[in-house]
């Protein structure tokens, strides 16, 4: 039975079926969503909420329960084989994952106040658990199939219609949906006919203690450790290696800059691992760099944990985010927190994450020549670039994970109170539309 009064610090079941918040961002299916879940759950736990994050087990060494922090656990649910299950095959394990969550909660005698699902796979499980447990479902999509298909990179593969149908069902049935920006809210309304009154806009945050500007000496040390010449112009890309994220745009822009000035001391760092459609051709961007004749001007690095990633941000003169679609752009925010200007595509939440003309530049489209103009212009204008570098940390400081978590608690408690007010028996809470 639903509680009669909403708890201010509820017990929350967080669903992240397809990827664990403990995985290294930048490879496989791990990215900004992992960072978001990890930090919001930590802040929710610090605020007193009891948080269990359910994710699919991918190796037996993980153990079933990871006590990550006070009030926060990671529950690894066995659903399908540990390895060898492609992301496209995960829908076959929705029932197994839901059954594993139910079994664990029943065995532990757990009664949750609210469910928060992340991504459409988890949303499908959350929809089922919402009606079985008779508690509200809050959903965060992170990306939407219809929006991704509108912004496909050349040669990229479209999201299947089955995903769009599942997303439509979640939009119809979730008690509340959380998005990063007003643009994302509009996309839910336009593409899925979602009820705008049930969509909450809550920007993500950034860890400003981890990502902070370094001194000139710290920048020098970072470059020396990476073997980067101190006088070189360095452009950095951080993210999963797939066409959606646009590393091909940056590589072609680098080639264009070198075509214009072969003697330019330019270096491009690509930090990340193959993901999504990039798994079809894991060496695609290495091959492209060779085809473009970039040689020593392009260097590929494996994904790095935050403690090492901050050194990369500090070592760079500019961070490029040439994505075709971004719900927000956490890499752009981390770079700015570390005091590095950003050149980003004017898509999705990047228009919010980057203060255009103040902490970086927004570029219309993905024409390599236009990107070469923006990056080259900023590298050549030391005064402007340093002015942006100085302004960037203050802009990033306006986005905190604590504020994000506090806003989420408000969403949870309103959803709990709303369900309690009707006893959970009204059409909105009793199963919704199919």
Domain boundaries, the chain: 11-205+400-422, 216-397
Binding-site annotation, residues for 1D-myo-inositol 3-phosphate: 18, 29-34, 87, 119, 143, 163
Give the pLDDT confidence score for residue 428 in this predicted structure. Answer: 61
Half-sphere exposure of 52 (CA within 13 A, CB side): 19
Q: Is residue 33 a contact partner of residue 122, using CB atoms and an 8 Å limit?
A: no
Task: Please give the annotated binding residues for Mg(2+), written as ranges.
Answer: 313-314, 316, 340
Given the structure tokens 């605020």, which residue do they identify? Answer: 47
Write the CATH number of the domain with boundaries 216-397.
Answer: 3.40.50.2000
For residue 238, list its beta bridge partners.
Answer: 271
Q: Which of 64-68, 355-359, 424-428 has the lowest mean pLDDT?
A: 424-428
Binding residue ranges = 18, 24-25, 29-34, 87, 119, 143, 163, 240, 245, 304, 313-314, 316, 326, 334, 340
Q: Check the CA dihedral 88-328-191-362 and report its sign.
A: negative
If DSSP codes are grouped into helix, strand and coil, which group holds residue 116?
strand
Of the candidate ranges 153-157, 223-227, 323-327, 388-392, the one whose mean pLDDT is the lowest:
153-157
Asked whether the beta carbons of 249 and 374 are under 8 A apart, the reply is no
Residue 430: pLDDT over 60: no
Mean pLDDT on 19-43: 88
Nearest Cα residue to 240 out of 34, 19, 31, 85: 31
Q: What is the pLDDT of residue 427?
A: 56
Nearest Cα to Cα of residue 338 among 321, 322, 323, 319: 319
Task: Cite the annotated binding site for UDP-N-acetyl-alpha-D-glucosamine by residue number.
Answer: 24-25, 32, 240, 245, 304, 326, 334
Angle, CA of 95, 144 and 300, to the nearest 5° = 100
Cβ contact 14:37 at 8 Å: yes
DSSP-derived letter for residue 78 is -
pLDDT band for position 278 (50/70/90)? Answer: low
**pTM greater than the 0.95 cutoff:** no
Q: What are phi and psi for residue 55, nearest 5 degrees?
A: -140, 165
Give me the CATH code for the 11-205+400-422 domain, please: 3.40.50.2000
**pLDDT tens profile 380-411:** 999 999 999 999 999 999 999 999 999 999 99
Closest CA to 279 of 88, 414, 143, 21: 88
């Amino acid at each position: 039975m639903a509680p009669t009064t909403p708890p201010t610090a509820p017990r929350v079941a967080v669903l992240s079926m397809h990827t664990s918040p403990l995985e290294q961002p930048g490879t496989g299916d791990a990215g900004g969503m992992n960072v978001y879940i990890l930090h919001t759950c930590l802040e929710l736990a610090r605020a007193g909420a009891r948080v269990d994050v359910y994710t699919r087990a991918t190796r037996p060494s993980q153990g079933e329960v990871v006590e990550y922090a006070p009030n926060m656990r990671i529950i690894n649910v066995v659903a399908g084989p540990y390895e060898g299950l492609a992301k496209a095959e995960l829908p076959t394990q929705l029932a197994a994952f839901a059954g594993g969550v139910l079994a664990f909660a029943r065995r532990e005698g757990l009664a949750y106040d609210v469910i928060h699902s992340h991504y459409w796979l988890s949303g499908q499980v959350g929809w089922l658990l919402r009606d079985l447990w008779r508690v509200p479902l809050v959903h965060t999509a992170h990306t939407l199939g219809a929006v991704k298909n509108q912004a496909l990179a050349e040669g990229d593969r479209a999201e299947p219609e089955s995903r769009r149908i599942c997303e439509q069902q979640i939009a119809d049935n979730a008690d509340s949906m959380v998005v990063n920006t007003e643009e994302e809210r509009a996309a839910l309304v336009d593409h899925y006919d979602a009820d705008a009154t049930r969509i909450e806009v809550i920007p993500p945050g950034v860890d400003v203690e981890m990502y902070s500007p370094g001194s000139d000496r710290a920048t020098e040390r970072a470059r020396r450790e990476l073997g980067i010449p101190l006088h070189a112009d360095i452009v950095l890309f951080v993210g999963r290696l797939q066409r959606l994220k646009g590393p091909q745009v940056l590589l072609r822009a680098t080639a264009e800059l070198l075509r214009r000035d072969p003697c330019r001391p330019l270096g491009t760092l690509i930090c990340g691992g193959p993901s999504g459609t990039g798994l079809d051709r894991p060496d695609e961007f290495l091959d492209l760099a060779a085809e473009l004749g970039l040689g020593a001007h392009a260097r590929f690095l494996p994904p790095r944990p935050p403690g090492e990633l901050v050194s990369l941000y500090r070592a760079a003169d500019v961070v490029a985010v040439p994505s075709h679609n971004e719900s927000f752009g956490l890499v752009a925010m981390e770079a700015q927190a570390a005091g590095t200007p950003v050149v980003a595509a004017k898509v999705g939440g990047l228009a919010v994450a980057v203060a255009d003309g103040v902490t970086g530049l927004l570029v219309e489209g993905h024409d390599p020549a236009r990107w070469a103009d923006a990056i080259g212009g900023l590298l050549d204008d030391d005064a402007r670039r340093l002015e942006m570098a100085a302004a960037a940390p203050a802009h990033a400081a306006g986005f905190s994970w604590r504020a994000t978590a506090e806003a989420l608690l408000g969403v949870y408690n309103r959803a709990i109170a709303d369900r309690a007010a009707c006893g959970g028996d009204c059409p909105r809470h009793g199963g919704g539309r199919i």
